[in-house]
Amino acid sequence: MREAHVFSEIVHHTISADEVRAKAPCAIILSGGPKSVYDTPAPSLDPAIYELGIPVLGICYGAQLMAQQLGGDVANTGVGEYGRTTLTRQGASVLMPEWPANVTCWMSHGDAIARAPDGFVVTASSLEAPVAVMENVTRRLHAVQFHPEVVHTEHGQELLDNFLHHVAGVAPTWTNTSIIEDQVALIRAQVGEEKVLCALSGGVDSAVAAALVTKAVGHQLTCVFVDTGLMRKNEGDQIEETFTRQFGVELIHVKAQDRFFDALAGVTDPEAKRKIIGELFIREFEAVARDLGKGGDGPRFLVQGTLYPDVIESGSGYAANIKSHHNVGGLPDDLSFELIEPLRNLFKDEVRHVGEELGLPSEIVWRQPFPGPGLGVRIVGEVTRERAEILRNADHVVVDEIKKAGLYRELWQSFAVLPAVRTVGVMGDGRTYAYPIIIRAVTSDDAMTADWARLPYDVIESIANRLIREVDGVNRVALDVTSKPPGTIEWE
């Protein structure tokens, strides 16, 4: 939806028709999902939503649910369709007015719509889905069995564009310029003449957030970089160079490594580590705010680079709590700041484009994502100074070789993981007992899903050789070939 320049919000299927009416959306899309409409329980929808006169597009499970609730038939034929499938057009379609007779689409379903509800016209089918597309133009209800949102579906984005712009009549006004203008106005209204702190990490999210707030309130902003000891190699120096000298931002560099390692001593649970790191982050900011407030009013606002996937994955009342983030799920209850989160409604690709629009350099805008808790969530087990240093050096090798191979921009993330276990090895004709390093590289568009990257063997070999040769404490290298789902991108 965002790629069609239309703002979209994810809501839970339990939303009522009255709640939908109050939100006054221009269109509704019912997503796909892993359930069957015959499961107990199965996700359902308030039937009154279909009567609101708002254009609705059902996708996969959403299509089957629409068919069942409106009087059609959904059947489990025992033969599903998974992967690339040929879609055959039939008759006139407002969703696909100029599509060819046969199109390759991406299917992923076990059940199939056997009979469309009364008033619907079937406008496409496939070998195992007799009702692959159904439309009721009068009621503005439409459904597709396939997935138009995946790149494997030919003309998929075209279908979404057509539904939004022509069927629903939504103007393509969600642009980088409009996002910046809206956020600048909101920040100015929220902040007034007050002082603001920004949690600056050196990554793209905090950099774009800082640039947005700078555009809104200028010198009212002070950026704070907390060096936790869990940052990438030479990151503190790079941040000071970029933001102090290049952008002229007022930057306070807090060197808090000892406090973080002391707080993490003996802690192995990943959620506990995230929450410890998140709370200590906030306490460090509060200490800076107190210092800045001596002799006058200190900053009352804190800027954070929270993104929409952070909000969703941290559990937003309807999504599974996959992980807590220091800037979403890990904030202490007695937070003394009022938060400013100008990127909270954006996905990562949108943040990058906004950053370019704001004039940030490409080496910042296109930097691969780095988790808020830093290397602390890439060390499986207790976080110690020794393990952090080993992982920092290993991570530097992985990224350096990925850049040399010209793959950095093609990958969503590429990094090293350190399990807190040791393995036996042989180096220089002698026995070693050292750590393994796992190479993790994934491709993705928005981090909601990700596939493991098929790195060339020679690149993997170069990384492995350098890790063994250059990083003290490492004697074994493995490659993570897990996609998301079932795994997450990070290990903890």
Which residue is catalytic, options 109, 142, 147, 326? Answer: 147
Q: Is 250 a catalytic residue?
A: no
Q: In terms of domains, do 160 and 196 share one?
A: no
pLDDT at residue 18, rounded to an integer: 97
**CATH code for the domain of 160:** 3.40.50.880
More confident residue, 234 or 25: 25
Q: How much is the CA Rg of the chain, to the nearest whole Å? A: 25
Does any domain span residue 373?
no
Q: In terms of domains, do 87 and 211 share one?
A: no
Distance CA 179, CA 356 (A): 13
**CATH code for the domain of 263:** 3.40.50.620
Q: Are strands 338-340 and 301-303 parallel, antiparallel or unpaired?
A: parallel
Most confident of 50-59, 108-117, 281-290, 426-435: 50-59
For residue 316, what pLDDT band results from cuts at 50, 70 and 90?
Answer: very low
Residue 58's closest CA among 43, 40, 77, 38?
43
Report the pLDDT averaged over residues 137-162. Answer: 92
**CATH code for the domain of 407:** 3.30.300.10
Does any domain span residue 185?
yes
Q: In terms of domains, do 401 and 322 share one?
A: no
Does any domain span residue 485?
no
Tell me which residue range forms the domain holding 155: 2-167
Percent pLDDT > 70 in the chain is 92
pLDDT of 491 above 80: yes
Q: In terms of domains, do 163 and 189 share one?
A: no
Q: Is 149 a catalytic residue?
A: yes
Q: In terms of domains, do 157 and 180 share one?
A: no
167, 194, 219 - which closes a domain? 167
Does any domain span residue 372?
no
Q: In terms of domains, do 21 and 158 share one?
A: yes
For residue 322, what pLDDT band results from cuts at 50, 70 and 90?
Answer: very low
Residue 133's closest CA among 57, 65, 76?
57
Cis geometry, peptide bond prior to residue 485 (ω within 30 degrees of 0): yes
335, 365, 395 - which closes a domain? 365
Q: Are strands 141-144 and 474-479 parallel, antiparallel or unpaired?
A: unpaired
CB 329 within 8 A of CB 407: no
Q: In terms of domains, do 193 and 335 share one?
A: yes
pLDDT at residue 377, rounded to an integer: 93
More confident residue, 403 or 369: 403
148, 167, 186 - which closes a domain? 167
Q: In terms of domains, do 78 and 143 share one?
A: yes
Q: In terms of domains, do 117 and 182 share one?
A: no
Distance CA 427, CA 470 (A): 13
Q: In terms of domains, do 336 and 401 share one?
A: no
Report the pLDDT averaged over residues 202-228. Answer: 89
Does any domain span residue 97?
yes
In tens, the pLDDT along 243-260 reads 777 667 788 999 999 999
Q: In terms of domains, do 198 and 298 share one?
A: yes
For residue 332, what pLDDT band results from cuts at 50, 70 and 90?
Answer: low
Q: In terms of domains, do 206 and 337 share one?
A: yes
Does any domain span residue 361?
yes
How many domains does the chain contain in total? 3
CB 131 within 8 A of CB 113: yes
Report the pLDDT averaged over residues 326-346. Answer: 71
Does any domain span residue 342?
yes
The pLDDT mean for the chain works out to 88
Does any domain span residue 379?
no
Report the pLDDT averaged over residues 16-32. Answer: 95
pLDDT at residue 404, rounded to an integer: 97
Which residue is catalytic, options 128, 149, 235, 490? Answer: 149
In tens, the pLDDT along 391-433 reads 999 999 999 999 999 999 999 999 999 998 888 876 665 667 8
0.75 cut: is pTM over it? no
